[in-house]
Chains A and B, each alone.
Chain A
Amino acid sequence: MDQFVVNLIFVGASFALYIGIAIWARAGSTSEFYAAGRGVHPVTNGMATAADWMSAASFISMAGLIAFVGYDNSTYLMGWTGGYVLLALLLAPYLRKFGKFTVSEFIGDRFYSPTARMVAVICLVVASVTYVIGQMTGVGVAFGRFLEVDNTTGLLIGACVVFAYAVFGGMKGVTYTQVAQYVVLITAFTIPAIFISLQLTGNPVPALGLFGEHQESGEPLLATLNQIVTDLGFAEYTAHHADTLNMVLFTLSLMIGTAGLPHVIMRFFTVPRVSDARWSAGWTLVFISLLYLTAPAVGAMARLNITELMWPEGTSGQAVSVEQIQTDADYAWMETWQKTGLLGWEDKNGDGRIQYYNDANPQMQERAEAAGWQGNELTNFNRDILVLANPEIANLPGWVIGLVAAGGLAAALSTAAGLLLAISSAISHDLLKGQLTPNMSEKAELLSARIAMAVAIAVATWLGLNPPGFAAQTVALAFGIAAASIFPALMMGIFSKRINNVGAVAGMLVGLIVTVVYIFLHKGWFFIPGTNTFDDSDPLFLTVQSTSFGAIGAILNFATAIGVSRVTAAPPQEIQDLVESVRVPRGAGAAAADH
């Protein structure tokens, strides 16, 4: 059967499953729609949260970024899991005890200030829109491949599907649909990884295979990989090359950002009890870890496979011939991906072979000169295609390829739709209805929500055509913004009784503005290409790249809030009592139920 038909069947079947479950669950209970997770077991809630949280960045993009860089990009793995420790220890149980439904409500109440609530909404919208741009990049890649069209067409079609999905929307709130999405997503990610790990190392657990023996050479897998990439002039896979300060700050940014993102935090507001909020964070991380422990193995093994395909006789032999790429079934994936415009090669020296090597390495330049090579001929390999192309690269059966297509779409669509819902409700409910036009009718509120959603997706799609980075990098910018603005306000609201309204507002504004300006200075104003003053290879402040600046922004936020609060009046007694009550679990029972 044609691969296109197989993909269509898998994608179609998975969507039918989600919609089917949504209809079935909806008929069961309508209150589920508003408070997904209440009365749901922490394990189920953890699985649903994991599906909500793991997006195109985790599924489509991250393993590719690790594959082509190696150890230095371990920061993504540590950053996007370590944040759950902060969430579980510093925020989740207390926000659950507080008992409202949104992050901006907590900030508005704790800092007894509608201004604080409004500033929090702005921070959430800025972070979420940036996040959606990253998702749209992933959506473009997935749809481009799945429909076998170029990336731009894929992105435009994907945008329409995301919009429809988000408007249909309600299914987003249904926990069991998210559980199904998680199952599709994790199966799609791990099955090819298990196959490939078996092929290369004989170990069915990819996380163990990564540190196992490469069967073909009898050497450890990572030693073999180090050998062949350094043979071609690339940096050693397992070695530390990146700037240490930037690595630390980037990891910290992702961690703090995870604990500051509204769509994740919201899930912990609605678990039945405070103790469940603590367990739920743990179960969420269990389900996320299944992907995160596998991703580094996927990256390393794919890098090995790709390099060996490009050098079928070994790195000292002849490179693969153009004829072989065009005729050999093992190389069919290259032809397919070329159509998306995200993979490209060019026989620059006209020798009928494609030499893949690092042409910036002086030693390789000597070898190239002697051999008559005229630069790296695998001219374009977009990092975001690696996970989706992986089963084809490893020559796995057609149904695995179809499954991965379904998984990639599930990851990108569910998160993008969830974020759009969060943006639209923040603008229509918190900003317009809550602040600017309190007398707005329900109908007008709904309409403004739809308009906000349409505007957000149009902006994200337009910027997604020329994204500021690969999917995971753009998403990392969103985490930086959340880290600098939301997390410090939440944490200080719980752990300090002295932080007042003025301090919190000043802190959030400083964190948000400084971080966003820093990002725009390096990535272009409003992410428009070419409008940047600095480049991430030579950043403005020390060695801190724009993706890592969120940690600095967070420090500035804390410092400003503490400083300003110290010279202004302490919060009133009832706010100090509120903080006291948030800190102990007793009395939480009724809090969420009266909504």
Chain B
Amino acid sequence: MSDKTDKSGYWTANLRIVAWCLVIWALVSFGFGILLRPLLSGIQVGGTDLGFWFAQQGSILVFLALIFFYAWRMNRLDRQFGVDEQ
């Protein structure tokens, strides 16, 4: 759209989604997988704790979910602001 405010609204909405996704991205990898692992040590998973599971499995599964969520959400946002490709 040529409307300037519409475009900047789209960009702000995009930045907000990106920021939230990156918070979760950092939380599951650097957080649960490394720095916050001691806090999760009480939760047992197959002979070890939840932090170990996040470091070797969980973070990867969350990354996948994040990318697909972002693709789906952005395609909706594109249509909402009328900036999608026809």
Q: Which of A221, A281, A586 interacts with B85 by CB under 8 Å?
A: A586
Q: Please state if B10 and A222 are interface contacts (CB–CB under 8 Å).
A: no
Q: Please state if A286 and B64 are interface contacts (CB–CB under 8 Å).
A: yes
Q: Please state if B74 and A77 are interface contacts (CB–CB under 8 Å).
A: no
Q: Say yes or no: A226-B18 contact (C-beta < 8 A), given A274-B85, A585-B84.
A: no
Q: Which of A238, A281, A286, A586 interacts with B84 by CB under 8 Å?
A: A586
The docked-state distance in angstroms from the alpha carbon of A207 to that of B63 is: 16
Q: Does residue A342 face the partner (Cβ distance < 8 Å to B)?
A: no
Q: Please state if A289 and B37 are interface contacts (CB–CB under 8 Å).
A: no
The docked-state distance in angstroms from the alpha carbon of A252 to that of B55 is: 14
The count of chain B contact residues (Cβ–Cβ below 8 Å) is 42
Q: Please state if A221 and B47 are interface contacts (CB–CB under 8 Å).
A: yes
Q: Does residue A303 face the partner (Cβ distance < 8 Å to B)?
A: no
Q: Say yes or no: A240-B37 contact (C-beta < 8 A), given A78-B29, A85-B25.
A: yes
Q: Please state if B57 and A244 are interface contacts (CB–CB under 8 Å).
A: no
Q: What residues on B are CB-neighbors of A71 within 8 Å? A: 52, 55-56
Q: Please state if B63 and A82 are interface contacts (CB–CB under 8 Å).
A: yes
Q: Please state if A78 and B70 are interface contacts (CB–CB under 8 Å).
A: no
Question: Interface segment, A86-94, A310-318, A391-399, A526-534?
Answer: A86-94
Chain A nearest CB from B34 CB (Å) reads 6
The docked-state distance in angstroms from the alpha carbon of A211 to that of B22 is: 28
- Tell me the nearest residue of chain B to A275, going by C-beta: B75
Q: Which of A211, A252, A281 interacts with B47 by CB under 8 Å?
A: A211
Q: Does residue A169 face the partner (Cβ distance < 8 Å to B)?
A: no
Q: Say yes or no: A81-B63 contact (C-beta < 8 A), given A220-B47, A238-B52, A278-B71.
A: yes
Q: Please state if A278 and B56 are interface contacts (CB–CB under 8 Å).
A: no
Q: Please state if A221 and B46 are interface contacts (CB–CB under 8 Å).
A: yes
- Tell me the nearest residue of chain B to A281, going by C-beta: B67
The docked-state distance in angstroms from the alpha carbon of A226 to that of B49 is: 13
Q: Please state if A282 and B78 are interface contacts (CB–CB under 8 Å).
A: no
Q: What residues on A are CB-neighbors of B49 within 8 Å? A: 238
Q: What residues on B are CB-neighbors of A585 within 8 Å? A: 78, 83-85
Residues in chain A within 8 A of chain B (CB atoms): 71, 74, 77-78, 81-82, 84-85, 88-90, 93, 207, 210-213, 219-224, 226, 238, 240, 244, 247-248, 251-252, 273-275, 278-279, 281-282, 285-286, 289, 292-293, 296, 580, 583-589
Show 28 A/B contacts (Cβ-Cβ < 8 Å), sorted by A.
Answer: A71-B56, A74-B55, A77-B56, A78-B29, A85-B22, A88-B67, A89-B66, A90-B18, A219-B47, A222-B48, A238-B47, A238-B48, A244-B34, A248-B34, A248-B35, A251-B29, A278-B71, A281-B67, A281-B71, A282-B68, A289-B61, A289-B64, A583-B11, A584-B10, A584-B83, A585-B83, A586-B85, A587-B85
| Apart from the given pairs A222-B52, A278-B74, 20 other A-B contacts in the complex at a CB distance below 8 Å | A74-B33, A77-B55, A82-B25, A85-B67, A89-B22, A89-B67, A89-B70, A210-B46, A226-B47, A240-B37, A251-B29, A251-B34, A285-B64, A583-B7, A584-B83, A585-B78, A585-B84, A585-B85, A586-B1, A588-B85
